[in-house]
Amino acid sequence: MSRSLLLKNATLLATLDAEEREIENGAVFIRDNLIEAVGPSDELPQTADTVIDLSGHVVIPGLINTHHHMFQSLTRVLPAAQDAELFDWLSALFPVWERITPAMSSTATQTAMAELMLSGCTTAADHAYLYVNGIRLDDNIAAAAEIGMRFHAARGAMSLGRNAGGLPPDALVEADEDAILKDMQRLIETYHDAASDAMVQIAVAPCSPFTVTTDLMREGAALARSYGVAMHTHTAENWKDVAFSQERYGMTSTQFTEEVGWVGEDVWHAHCVHLDDPGIALFARTGTGVAHCPCSNMRLASGIAPVRKMLDAGVNVGLGVDGSASNDSGSLLSEARQALLSARVKDQEPAAMTAREALALATRGSAAVLGRGESLGRIQAGYCADVVAFRLDDIALAGALVDPLAALVFCTPPRVAYSVINGRVVVAEGQLTTLELPVLVERHNRMAGVLVRGD
């Protein structure tokens, strides 16, 4: 039976659509899981099966996270990794990650999703590359279904161990690349939904040039394209990453991506901090996307990605929070603020990025990177009903109501008031409706204690 939902009387409704409409006293009428109408409240239907009065709220499209490692929420602020660059950071964490169990991984995934949802995120891509002790991506997909998040599950892999010249210890890699590819195929055939309103999509995601072989990169690309699914990996994250490609493969990170077939509208790369000018031109020409993760890039002293240069060249850029072991937070709104600040610092120019541009990166920009630009990232008729609302009387916004939309980025209120994903209310009055958060947090902390301290 068809169900309807009316969100009305929003103090300000920002559509983030192509016209960038900002509607005072705005409303959204939702039928089932799609947006049916958007406009001033007095111009839309006045009744629905469920009506939510959003007076005193600012409403925007659900934020979209293009890059995460959700299992890492178990290992936040590990002392040995607090003050390290990428390779040393990974080397400090690898021995701990060897002990992660399936139950730990599933709980960490749901904890990361809860944190994202409470900050206004409605869609997330998880680059899951850890498969030890029986961990399977199936459990993460089940966790997403339970909590109600729209999920892009990227089946990652590490196959190049230390003895073969890679960075990870041999105990953490999957040595049988044929088995990796077969599992990727199984996941695609079992879970991938190509529909425009899909709640689950699968991506093929070998981890990085220093953790997998060129054969796996090439074979992974062939598999993904035979099924029409997206491809994701890390590229040019820090100077050691760039040096590894040069020393092992005799080419730059940009040349490597092109050599192994990892450019195109079906590909997005995380970080790209050191993407060179030829790489920017290549990505723009081929429609290759970038997941910009400014907090992680600064935490690990990787550098500041040339995002303004990418955008001006026509590269599709979205935002990602990255793993909680390198970001320490899972707030995409905070990531948007950091994107704005880092762009201004890099170019020493306040006009390098505006608050509205940062929000566009977190919504329609991220949607385009994930190949969902025609269905996600905008409050627009025919788009998926992913909508979030923030209270304007939150202390974080006190004194900032002259421009409440910009205030979301500059002031970053810590918690969303309402979140609708696929037409379903998953956060109401600041509380998750799909699970008991205190129970989840207690379980997560207990498991993290066992993993890190042996409690």
Q: Going by DSSP bridges, is the β-strand pair 57-61/4-14 parallel, antiparallel, or unpaired?
A: parallel
- Helices 239-249 & 86-97 angle (0-180, nearest 10): 90
* Average pLDDT of the segment spanning 225-244: 96
The rounded Cα 126 to chain-centroid distance in angstroms is: 7
pLDDT tens, residue by residue, 156-175? 999 999 999 999 999 999 99
> Residue 59 has what DSSP assignment?
E
Closest alpha carbon to 330 in 75, 116, 77:
116
Can you count the helices (H) and strands (E) in the chain? 16, 17
Residue 37 pLDDT = 98
pLDDT tens, residue by residue, 76-109? 999 999 999 999 999 999 999 999 999 999 999 9
HEC string of 283-320 equals: HHHHCCEEEECHHHHHHCCCCCCCHHHHHHHCCEEEEC
* Average pLDDT of the segment spanning 115-120: 98
pLDDT at 455 over 90: no
Q: Going by DSSP bridges, is the β-strand pair 63-65/121-128 parallel, antiparallel, or unpaired?
A: parallel
Say if residues 375 and 384 touch (Cβ distance below 8 Å): yes
**Buried b vs exposed e over 352-373: b needs ≥16 C-beta within 10 Å?**
bbebbbbbbbbbbbbbbbbbbe
**What phi-psi label fits residue 427: left (phi over 0), alpha (psi between -120 and 50 degrees) or beta?**
beta
Closest alpha carbon to 220 in 250, 259, 178:
178
Residue 362 pLDDT = 98
Strands (E), 228-295: 230-235, 267-271, 289-292
DSSP secondary structure string for all residues of 139-186: HHHHHHHHHT-EEEEEEEE----GGGT-SS-GGGS---HHHHHHHHHH
* Average pLDDT of the segment spanning 46-55: 96
Q: How far apart are CA 282 and CA 267, in angstroms?
A: 12
* Average pLDDT of the segment spanning 129-137: 97
Q: How far apart are CA 335 and CA 352, in angstroms?
A: 16
pLDDT tens, residue by residue, 339-350? 999 999 999 999
- Residue ranges and CATH numbers for the domains of the chain are 4-62+380-432 (2.30.40.10), 63-370 (3.20.20.140)
User: What percent of the chain is modeled with pLDDT above 90?
Assistant: 98
Confidence at 13, pLDDT banded by 50, 70, 90 = very high
Query: Tokens 């529909």 correspond to what residue?
Result: 195
* Average pLDDT of the segment spanning 182-207: 98
pTM above 0.85, yes or no: yes
Residues 6+ apart with CB under 8 A from 334: 119, 295, 412
Closest alpha carbon to 169 in 98, 254, 233, 115:
98
Residue 215 in 3-state DSSP? helix
Average pLDDT, the chain: 97
Confidence at 1, pLDDT banded by 50, 70, 90 = confident
pLDDT tens, residue by residue, 209-221? 999 999 999 999 9
Q: How far apart are CA 47 and CA 208, in angstroms?
A: 51
pLDDT at 315 over 80: yes
With 0-12 CB in 10 A as exposed, 13-18 as middle and 19+ as buried, what is 452? middle
* Average pLDDT of the segment spanning 385-395: 98
Confidence at 454, pLDDT banded by 50, 70, 90 = confident
Residues 6+ apart with CB under 8 A from 13: 22, 23, 24, 26, 27, 28, 38, 58, 59, 60, 379
pLDDT tens, residue by residue, 403-450? 999 999 999 999 999 999 999 999 999 999 999 999 999 999 999 999
pLDDT tens, residue by residue, 138-160? 999 999 999 999 999 999 999 99
Q: How far apart are CA 341 and CA 352, in angstroms?
A: 9
pLDDT tens, residue by residue, 271-293? 999 999 999 999 999 999 999 99
Residue 34 in 3-state DSSP? strand
